Amino acid sequence: MSGRPFFWQDPGGKMQQGNTRGDAGTCEGVDLASLARREGTPLYVYSAAAIRGRLRALQAALAGLDAGVCYAVKANSNGAVLRLMAEEGAGADIVSGGELWRSLRAGIPAGRIVFSGVGKSAAEIVQALEAGVARFNIESRAELELLEAIASARGQVAHAAVRINPDVDALTHAKISTGKSENKFGVSIAEARAWFAQADRWPSVRLDGLHMHIGSQILSLEPVRQALQRMAGFWRELEAAGHAIASIDVGGGLGVRYREGERPIEADAYVAEIRQALDGFRGRILLEPGRYLVAEAGLLLSRVLLEKEGEARRFLVLDAAMNDLLRPSLYDAWHDLVPLGDAAERPPVAYDVVGPVCETGDTFATGRTMPRCEAGDLVAILGAGAYGASMASTYNSRPLAAEVLVDGARYAVVRRRQTLDEMIAGEPSAATWQTP
């Protein structure tokens, strides 16, 4: 089991494996065992170099285009990660007022922020108009009319893109597919066509953009190609009808390597499809990667609590749980599990790897063959940089895990471990009763 990967990164953006030999488990230049002793477990660890490498490779592939990368904040909304994105010139794709606040606080200019999401509240729309976000991605007629009403009352003109649903199967998990006709996201091309034809009905909304996003963890270019072709066909139709399109947002969804045999789409190949489909477009092109930039740059360190020999299964119980990393429970998602230190050289055993939460769904892996582990051993759960900490909860009254960012031979705690007092800080006793 020596040499198993932590993350993949090189100056060209390709991720290469980290070091797991013997007791030398490291992230960049930081020893993971020492990090766990100092900061405790469960512990999220992110590599700044890996994030920069993936982002810079995508930006390099876009050279020569009027294009921008708007990082999908929902993937990992830690302030340090957002500040890193801001420093590298990325914008933000947000889906809530909270993500807008985080992005602005991290230094991402409002002019590089696009507001997506199927259910924006009136208060969030006001917040975004006040901040001056670059564009709203509109997903329903009701939302379009709400944006018109609010912008008109404020004496503003909101820039907006229609999120079309191209009815393309992203060939991914059903719970992260967003571009098929039965999904809740976006509108049909027919409905979008009607909106543009009636654009004068919404004078306070400048409808001059197109947007799509067909799903997450896409590992094949074919659905991307199909969706881009449908988007491009609609753009050309609109321009021929006299509707100027200033922005085309091609969404995100690029997949990453979670397990053996999975290969991310290379940045150059992806951008080549965009160049071909949108050849001749003179407006701005936006991309919304999230997972692609941060997933492989992160891992979750956990310590073994015990082994349990059941009648039919052998269990390995970790101190991390589904409240820390929900993806395996929610999506049946695979994450590589790498024992560190001496455990890496022990004979293999088939485990059900579980956490201590009182749910059968609190399972990271079933029948996973890995080196035999003992209480106190460290296990790295790989590919945890996206939809890990951002989806965490305090279920079972388990405080949120700490997060650290590694940069070379140094690290910084970018979210301290939540204390019990902090966990209940918003729960006053029922000492003061009120009536509505």
Query: Looking at residue 93, what is its pLDDT?
Result: 98
Percent of the chain whose predicted confidence (pLDDT) is above 70: 90
Query: Looking at residue 5, what is its pLDDT?
Result: 42
Asked if residue 104 belongs to a domain, the reply is: no
Q: Are residues 187 and 266 both part of a single domain? A: yes
Average pLDDT, the chain: 91
Q: Are residues 250 and 313 both part of a single domain? A: no
pTM: 0.92
pLDDT digits (tens, 9 = 90+) for 279-335: 999 999 999 999 999 999 999 999 999 999 988 899 999 999 999 999 999 999 999
Query: Looking at residue 169, what is its pLDDT?
Result: 54
Q: Note whether 362 and 330 are within 8 A (CB).
A: no
* Cross-strand pairs, 353: 316, 365
Mean pLDDT of 351-361: 97
Mean pLDDT of 205-209: 97
pLDDT digits (tens, 9 = 90+) for 34-54: 999 999 999 999 999 999 999
Three-state helix/strand/coil letters over the chain: CCCCCCCCCCCCCCCCCCCCCCCCCEECCEEHHHHHHHHCCCEEEEEHHHHHHHHHHHHHHCCCCCEEEEEEHHHCCCHHHHHHHHHCCCEEEECCHHHHHHHHHCCCCHHHEEECCCCCCHHHHHHHHHHCCCEEEECCHHHHHHHHHHHHHHCCCEEEEEEECCCCCCCCCHHHECCCCCCCCCECHHHHHHHHHCHHHCCCEEEEEEECCCECCECCHHHHHHHHHHHHHHHHHHHHCCCCCCEEECCCCECCCCCCCCCCCCHHHHHHHHHHHCCCCCCEEEECCCHHHHHHHEEEEEEEEEEEECCCCEEEEECCCCCCCCHHHHHCCCCCEEECHHHHHCCEEEEEEECCCCCCCCEEEEEEEEECCCCCCEEEEECCCCCCHHHCCCHHHCCCCEEEEEECCEEEEEECCCCHHHHCCCCCCCCCCCCC
Asked if residue 93 belongs to a domain, the reply is: no
Q: Are residues 127 and 167 both part of a single domain? A: yes
pLDDT band at residue 11 under the 50/70/90 scheme: very low
Query: Looking at residue 14, what is its pLDDT?
Result: 39
Give the CATH number of the domain where residue 237 resides.
3.20.20.10
Residue 15 has pLDDT above 90, yes or no: no
Query: Looking at residue 128, what is its pLDDT?
Result: 98
Residue 75 has pLDDT above 50, yes or no: yes
CA 420 to chain centre: 28
pLDDT band at residue 24 under the 50/70/90 scheme: low
Asked if residue 134 belongs to a domain, the reply is: yes
Q: Are residues 299 and 404 both part of a single domain? A: yes
Q: Note whether 300 and 320 are within 8 A (CB).
A: yes
Q: Are residues 40 and 134 both part of a single domain? A: no
Give the whole-angstrom CA distance, residue 116 versus residue 208: 15
User: 144: left (phi > 0), else alpha (psi -120 to 50), else beta?
Assistant: alpha
Residue 149 has pLDDT above 70, yes or no: yes
Asked if residue 211 belongs to a domain, the reply is: yes
Give the whole-angstrom CA distance, residue 157 versus residue 138: 14
pLDDT digits (tens, 9 = 90+) for 164-205: 988 765 445 444 444 344 555 689 999 999 999 999 999 999
Q: Are residues 137 and 262 both part of a single domain? A: yes
Give the whole-angstrom CA distance, residue 198 versus residue 204: 13
Distances (CA, A) of 56 to 61, 406, 434: 9, 18, 55
Tell me how many domains the chain contains. 2
156: tokens are 């503003």
Q: Are residues 219 and 274 both part of a single domain? A: yes
Query: Looking at residue 216, what is its pLDDT?
Result: 83
Listed residues 287, 309, 343: the one ending a domain? 287
* Cross-strand pairs, 379: 302, 339
**Which domain range does residue 400 map to?**
26-47+295-423
- Choice among 137-151, 339-353, 400-414 with the minimum mean pLDDT: 339-353
Q: Is the peptide bond before 42 cis (omega within 30 degrees of 0)?
A: yes
Asked if residue 370 belongs to a domain, the reply is: yes
256: tokens are 């990453």
Q: Are residues 128 and 276 both part of a single domain? A: yes
Residue 115 has pLDDT above 70, yes or no: yes
Residue 270 has pLDDT above 60, yes or no: yes
Q: Are residues 305 and 379 both part of a single domain? A: yes
Asked if residue 15 belongs to a domain, the reply is: no
Query: Looking at residue 164, what is its pLDDT?
Result: 93
- Of 57, 43, 44, 45, the residue nearest 9 (C-alpha): 57
Query: Looking at residue 100, what is its pLDDT?
Result: 98
Residue from 27, 70, 358, 373 carrying the catalytic annotation: 358
Q: Are residues 238 and 377 both part of a single domain? A: no
pLDDT digits (tens, 9 = 90+) for 388-400: 999 999 999 999 9
- Radius of gyration of the chain from its Cα atoms, rounded to whole angstroms: 23
Q: Are residues 140 and 256 both part of a single domain? A: yes
Asked if residue 371 belongs to a domain, the reply is: yes
Listed residues 258, 287, 316: the one ending a domain? 287
Listed residues 231, 252, 287: the one ending a domain? 287
Give the CATH number of the domain where residue 328 resides.
2.40.37.10
Half-sphere exposure at residue 196, Cβ-oriented, CA atoms within 13 angstroms: 25
Asked if residue 362 belongs to a domain, the reply is: yes
Q: Note whether 159 and 209 are within 8 A (CB).
A: yes
Longest dimension (CA), the chain: 71
Q: Are residues 417 and 306 both part of a single domain? A: yes
Residue 357 has pLDDT above 90, yes or no: yes
| 404 vs 182, higher pLDDT | 404
- The answer to whether residue 358 is catalytic is yes
Q: Note whether 391 and 290 are within 8 A (CB).
A: no
pLDDT digits (tens, 9 = 90+) for 210-241: 999 988 899 999 989 999 999 999 999 999 99
151: tokens are 């912008």
429: tokens are 């006793």
